[in-house]
A = this chain, B = another copy of it.
């Protein structure tokens, strides 16, 4: 499936570069390769899955819809616009202004709702009843296949990789990478990383059953979603391990990426490096691919201290 996706979205999606840093490798004693999805269109890997899902729709599609507080909304709006479709995005009324602006900048229509899951689903249901095609953020075969193209590219860009580490929120990215690696490079080990304050994936995989409720508390806003059903099944079926990291470890990893790779990543995007550095023995003497998943954050607030 990821192989189909890579052909379908070629030309729409950016083939993002990989970066390395001698100084970071020297400092950490590791061999790290970064896949730069913060440089993907719309600023995150989400554009891949959205583009593949939208590519499957018929020409006479009456428009797409989703609910999102984050990167999926903007990615879907951009992917829909590329095919001339409308995109309606239900967003909680407490959504970050820059995320709302991003959806609109890519041509999407924003519908505000109360800041709870029921209201979001109700808002989306109303759009479905108007005939819109729902495109969920992660629990969807096309989305999973589209996100898997990250690994298809990465493993082609660096044939010496022995590990790929990616963050997990709902699991679209990690399950896509798992399927892609199994298909094209089964010797490569795939590992997930998530905040200890949103460890539903780690708990689900340890228990062998999907946790269906949680109360996430983490600065990594992109990883607060609950692991999806299809996503859990893929990860459990491939015996994927998920590492958990503290908030301090996330800040430390983000600092290292900014300082040595010179890339702006959001907290979610720094979680895999945090996981690697907190589990050095697991990755010692191995060449490790790390997915920087996105770079959308409120920059202005951080510049306050300059």
Contacts and interface: CB of A to CB of B under 8 A. Distances in A.
Interface string A19-51: 100110010000000000011010100000000
A97 interface: no
Looking at chain A's contact residues, the main secondary structure is helix
Contacts of A295: 262
A305 B297 CA distance: 12
A287 to B, nearest CB: 20
Contacts of A186: none
A302 interface: yes
A305 B306 CA distance: 11
B255 A303 contact: yes
A221 B254 CA distance: 24
Nearest to A40: B262
A98 B27 CA distance: 14
A1 interface: no
Contact of A304 (B26, B105, B267, B305): B305
Interface in A27-79: 38-39, 41, 43
Given A303-B254, A305-B305, A262 B39 contact: yes
